[in-house]
Amino acid sequence: MAAPEGLFVLEGRPTAQLIADQLREQIVQGIFRPGEQINESVLASQLRTSRGPVREALQRLSQEGILVSRRNRGVFVLELSADDVREIYAVREAVESTAADALLDGGQEQVKDTCRILRTVISDMAKQVAVSDWQAIAPLDMQFHTSFVAGAGNTRLIRIYETLAAESRMCILNLAVAYPRIDDLVQEHQNILDLLEKGDREELHKAITQHMQKAVEDLTAARGDKEIIA
């Protein structure tokens, strides 16, 4: 039978997973602000479920690092410092560089498939830039990079990058006006795509490094060094 997709409130299968995904999305969208407390009981009754699955989901997100749990005090949305930003983007650079190598070593077919996906993402991105829809740009930005890493086909790399993507979106959303050089945005991603397609390993690595460095500069520019961003 054709499976009719159920609604978001409560589905049959992996409840904790659904809660975690939903919550992560709400956090990176800024519905829960950094430093804000999340109460197990309250969330459970809101979701019409018990504390068990909620607790499981919260624990999951804590392990991912976007929540911090203090014993008998509560769980709170992560607050990011400038140092955190530097850490995150340093690791992102490492992961994406590795993915780039794996892609280029993986054969023409793999590169081609990945590029096809990346092209559509850039296309969507250009549309949203044209109408200045920042809300839609951040997810697309991350989708580009996530797809890039996914193209390498290393499941561990992908799993690592998922957490980094969530943290990056938290960085971006907490920066109010997130993209100072919004016109460069599409161009930069297009450049990465071109270099991947061309197979220019050297320049691709440089482009990734620069992309990350610029991001760190933008994200840390307005704030003091050790200050909390959010």
List interacting residues with DNA (CB under 7 A): 12-16, 37-41, 49-53, 55-56, 69-75
The one of DNA, its own copies, none whose footprint includes residue 156, by CB under 5 to 8 A per kind, is: its own copies
Least separation in angstroms between residue 198's CB and DNA is 46
Least separation in angstroms between residue 16's CB and DNA is 5
Least separation in angstroms between residue 230's CB and DNA is 20
Least separation in angstroms between residue 223's CB and DNA is 26
Binding mask 171-210 for its own copies (x = CB under 8 A): ----------------------------------------
**Residues numbered 3-32 forming contacts with its own copies, rule: CB under 8 A:** 13-14, 16
Token pair 């044209």 is found at: 130
**Residues numbered 97-156 forming contacts with its own copies, rule: CB under 8 A:** 97-98, 102, 154-156
The one of DNA, its own copies, none whose footprint includes residue 40, by CB under 5 to 8 A per kind, is: DNA
Edge-to-edge strand ranges of the sheet holding 74-77: 37-38, 74-77, 67-70
The one of its own copies, DNA, none whose footprint includes residue 157, by CB under 5 to 8 A per kind, is: its own copies
Instruction: Please pick, from the candidates 9, 31, 90, 222, the single residue that binds its own copies as defined by CB under 8 A.
Output: 90
* DSSP line for the chain: ---PPP-SS--SS-HHHHHHHHHHHHHHTTSSPTT-EE-HHHHHHHTTS-HHHHHHHHHHHHHHTSEEEETTTEEEE---BHHHHHHHHHHHHHHHHHHHHHHHHT-HHHHHHHHHHHHHHHHHHHHHHHTT-HHHHHHHHHHHHHHHHHHT--HHHHHHHHHHHHHHHHHHHTTSS--TTHHHHHHHHHHHHHHHHHT-HHHHHHHHHHHHHHHHHHHHHTS-SSSB--
Instruction: Please pick, from the candidates 21, 44, 65, 117, the single residue that binds its own copies as defined by CB under 8 A.
Output: 65
Q: Is 212 helix (H, G, I), strand (E, B) or coil?
A: helix
Instruction: Please pick, from the candidates 160, 180, 191, 214, the single residue that binds its own copies as defined by CB under 8 A.
Output: 160
Least separation in angstroms between residue 49's CB and DNA is 4
With the C-alpha atoms ordered 36, 40, 43, 47, is the resulting torsion angle positive or negative?
A: positive
**Which residues of the chain form contacts with its own copies (CB under 8 A)?**
13-14, 16, 55-56, 59-60, 63, 65, 71, 87-88, 90-91, 93-95, 97-98, 102, 154-157, 159-160, 164
